[in-house]
Amino acid sequence: MESRDHLSRFLLPHAGVRGVHVHLGETWRRIASSDDYPPVVRGLLGEAAVASALFTGHVKVDGRLSVQLRGEGALRTLFAECTAAGTLRGLARMAEDAGDIGGLEDLGNDALLAITIENPGIGSRDAARYQGLVPLDAPVLAEAFEGYFTRSEQLPTRILLAAGTDHATGLMLQKLPADGGDDDGWNRASALFSTLDTTELLATPGPTLLHRLFHEEAPELVGGRPLAFACSCSRGRVEAMLAALGREEAEAALMEGTATVRCEFCGQGYLFDAEAIHNLFTSAQRPMEPPAGLQ
């Protein structure tokens, strides 16, 4: 089992194919520990977290990339985010009366899949935000993402995702957009990819896996970076959220004289008493500085 949380990018030059491999250990355990998720939801969240990292190895991201699935069923939201610095966070939300959740179908009819890239502005320019939004019409996440890239980029793509108790991992292949490789390159790479299952993906370290699958294609590592859990919450951002709710709703949150706001991503709690809530809405309160760059 791999000991490092890491993203690796590689090429199959003769086939004209690029790829990304991601392994999450401690990062995945930290994401999963934020709530007591049912096993199926926990697994889906792990796959979404891996996917968010995989995609940062495929597209240029200077800020952050997020994947989100949302619907009106028993499972309401799956959200995972990876930043250009290699930090991840994620969460799942369920309906209060969710009951047993069996898979993506519990997002309900008309569920949507979104991939969003947010890059910081240059100079005085605002941050740039790009979003692709498609209906969720696949039974598993890997197929949903494959369909997304086929429709949005018109490039053949293969993705396999797996999440276990202690670690989560994923592999992505995509045909290079420029003409390259021999005529049968993609078919060969895709056929080799199809021999891989989630059990082998979880059990095999990245370098061993790439050699085992693609050694005849002479894979070349072309970059990588470490990955880690991190959350961008802060007291200042919680204060901004409470101020946006308005005085009446913020004061209504006070229970026995205090209110605790808990971050859904990391579990950090921020305590406010009546005086702190009052100060949010007084003219004497120092204006809060906007966060630097992306939140």
Give the per-residue pLDDT at 52.
97
Host H or E run for residue 262 = strand 258-262
Give the per-residue pLDDT at 288.
40
The token pair at 10 is 């590689």
Give the per-residue pLDDT at 179.
65
Q: Is 261 in a helix, a strand, or coil?
A: strand
DSSP state of 172: E
Question: Could you tell me if 45 and 78 are in contact, meaning their C-beta atoms sit under 8 angstroms apart?
Answer: yes
Give the per-residue pLDDT at 274.
84
Q: How far apart are the C-alpha atoms of 60 and 119, rounded to whole Å? A: 9
Give the per-residue pLDDT at 237.
84
Give the per-residue pLDDT at 124.
59
Predicted TM-score (pTM) of the model is 0.86
Give the per-residue pLDDT at 1.
57
List the pLDDT tens digit at each of the 295 positions of the chain.
Answer: 566 999 999 999 999 999 999 999 999 999 999 889 999 999 999 999 999 999 999 888 889 999 999 999 999 999 999 999 999 999 999 998 888 889 999 999 899 999 999 988 776 577 788 899 999 989 999 999 999 988 888 889 999 999 999 999 999 999 988 766 777 999 999 999 999 999 999 999 999 999 999 999 999 999 999 999 998 888 888 888 888 888 888 888 787 788 888 888 888 888 888 888 888 888 444 444 433 333 3
Burial letters for 197-230: b for 16+ Cβ neighbours within 10 Å, e otherwise?
A: ebeebbebebeebbeebbeebebeeeebeebebe
